[in-house]
Structure 1
């Protein structure tokens, strides 16, 4: 009897660890599967951006932001002839705004302003204040008693008048001869005669060519 009890005890001794080992093995596998599931969920809910700041994809993030900075800094090429031509004139203060327009628009703004106001030497005023209207432009912007637009600043003037020139160019009014509508409207005879219109075309063409040759 004592021998039977001894053998039973030895059997239990070896049986229990094996059972427990199998149990813990299953538990470990379940835990591993859970961790993998959580990892997949994190990628879906918070795609690779969740790694930024955790030392995982700093290099990639840096490259992305660097590329954005390069795109943001891209500007329209500046025509150095603008500064050379306008140096010392009242229109010189408009150069920063002119440099933000495309070359064709800016060139017509400069050429027309030379003909209409000698680059700002003869301009409309309102209440004794400069209107920065160097083109004889008549629009809705704070008009003077004589109907000319009075702008808030040089940049405001370039924005409004530049948009008007750009619209004309988009409508195929793209040569000084066609651009004479700026002076004449629909009737050159009523705006000083054809001889005056021809002189306007010639002068605007001359300055436009100087800026683009």
Structure 2
């Protein structure tokens, strides 16, 4: 090659084209533009993945325990409510209804709301003794003007209207139940007399020597029969 031709070749071809090592270093395929600046990918941290699974299952387990606890609490409250005794007004309504059913058609029926304010045992003996002593208000002491004294139990203490025919005379059914019921409460709660045989003191006092054995047994039997309709 003459000097002039060599000069023209050098002017048109880059100098590095004549060096083989450069072509061995350069890759034959072009790198896509969108991958030229892509950051280097790091290997996945397996410990982090495992921890994430543990946390996930822990959350699920915790939620399950919370839901179980709530359901158990709801069931417990429901069972407690189902066996809870009725409230005081409800108890009185039930007791009054029972008293009315037993004494329906007798004068004492008007006293049912007042009888129901007492405990069941006292209410039962208010009904049972009244049946024996006055046939639930059909045999009663009356005042001088013929008014009802509301004493259906043979009570011999004085009422607000004094005495009539040897028995107390009360001004109203409410007063009668308050006084007689209070006396029965004392015998039942303080003296623990809660059977017809023990409450024979209502008929005899502290001694039945003046009464026949037959009449005493009859009183106990009848009072037990009718008080049982309320108590049992």
What's the CA shift for 1:144?
2.5
2:178 to 159, 172, 175: 159
1:75 to 65, 83, 89: 89
The secondary structure found in structure 2 opposite 1:129 is: coil
Q: How does 1:36-75 map to 2 (within 5 A)?
A: 74-75=88-89
Partner Cα distance (1:112, 1:82) in 2? 13
1:97 to 105, 114, 118: 114
Q: Does 1:107 align with 2:124?
A: yes
Q: What's the C-alpha RMSD, in Å, of the aligned pairs?
A: 1.5
Partner Cα distance (2:209, 2:133) in 1? 18
Q: Structure 1: where are the runs of 5+ without partners? A: 1-72
Partner Cα distance (1:212, 1:93) in 2? 19
Highest CA radius of gyration, 1 or 2?
2
Q: Structure 2: where are the runs of 5+ without partners? A: 1-86
The secondary structure found in structure 1 opposite 2:130 is: helix
Partner Cα distance (2:183, 2:128) in 1? 15
Partner Cα distance (2:142, 2:163) in 1? 7
What's the CA shift for 1:76?
6.1
Structure 1 stretches of 4+ with a deviation exceeding 3 A read none
How many residues are paired up?
A: 140
Q: Which deviations, in whole Å up to 9, do the C-alpha atoms of 1:183-211 show, x marking residues without a partner?
A: 01122131x31210111001101112222
